[in-house]
Structure 1
């Protein structure tokens, strides 16, 4: 079995990979149609890479980028939760820059899917985070991803329809990373 190498990239170093990141994105979404376009995704990458704490883990094999995962901590003024469906428990969307790490993308080239690359990327990124929880959004019709996330310990919470044009409705998933510290009584 072939096994890609994993490498962490902060935003400054990942800028040199943007064209390759877009290529993997387009390959992974080749059958999904709008809104999965190069221009929209390049704008998303540019906006996300400027966020404090942005981190990418890339899977490389033979000098080729075969997959990646990236995310960033949610700031107090985040718009990540815009479009969330009620009911949710009080305080669920309150952020301080240290509470929640948002995974924005986990993508693997189609020829590399179902070979453990996504799991390796996921585990590598999540295991090094210091936030209390992580979140990600998954399309309800993406049953393969939903089963994987379920087996990796993610829990569905509600649905969310982002405010960008042609946005689908997603399932919001949460994974506890660290238990919140209890204040002494």
Structure 2
């Protein structure tokens, strides 16, 4: 592990204090990915997501500098998360009750800090100990590094989804359950 790496959990109120840093890292990671990855859209996304019950952020810093972060939240009943999902999916797959599925929305590591175990540390810190029986995320189909990492962490592709946001790309929908996790429910890293 990297010397000086610190992981810290943040509530939505605490995250507002570092909002500009979160946005700056997002813009750096997604530079050149197209219109969908604009500052304005991401600020709207963060604002909406931070209002969700159970929203949680984990940051990774080295010597006080933000080098990565991950955040997510439990999907509420009547969530729009699944809008744009490609069929077929198993019956009841998109039904939510606020306790069934944890949505991992972003996992970002600064390009200069990749391949040093930060993404794994962030992932395990946020996801491995969740009480929900399953977790989901969206990932670019051609992001080989991310796809490989997620598979090694127990994630499996279910289908594809194009979010209802303007200019949204097509994503793979990945799912991780207690059965597919390399760590049992209640695992603490």
> What interval of TM-score do these two structures reach, taking the shorter chain for normalisation?
over 0.9
**TM-score, structure 1 length as denominator?**
0.93
State the Cα distance separating 1:31 from its structure 2 match. 3.0
Listed as ranges, the matches of 1:37-52 within 5 Å are 37-52=38-53
Q: Distance in 2 between matches of 1:9 and 1:127?
A: 17
List structure 1 runs of 4+ shifted beyond 2 angstroms. none
**1:23-64 deviations in whole A, cap 9, x for unaligned?**
110111123232111111111101100000000000011111
Contact 1:134 1:177 in 2 (8 A): no
1:111 aligns with 2:150: no
Please say if 1:66 is aligned against 2:67: yes
Please give the per-residue CA displacement for 1:47-95, whole angstroms capped at 9, x wherever unaligned.
1000000000000111111100000000001000000011111000000
Gaps of 5+ in 2: 181-189
The 5 A counterparts of 1:4-153 are 4-153=5-154
Partner of 1:161: 162
Please state how far the C-alpha of 1:2 moved relative to its aligned partner: 2.7
The TM-score with structure 2 as length reference comes to 0.91
Q: Distance in 2 between matches of 1:94 and 1:86?
A: 14
Q: SS of the counterpart of 2:169?
A: coil
* Equivalenced residues, count: 179
The 3-state SS of whatever aligns with 1:46 is helix
Q: CA RMSD in A?
A: 1.3
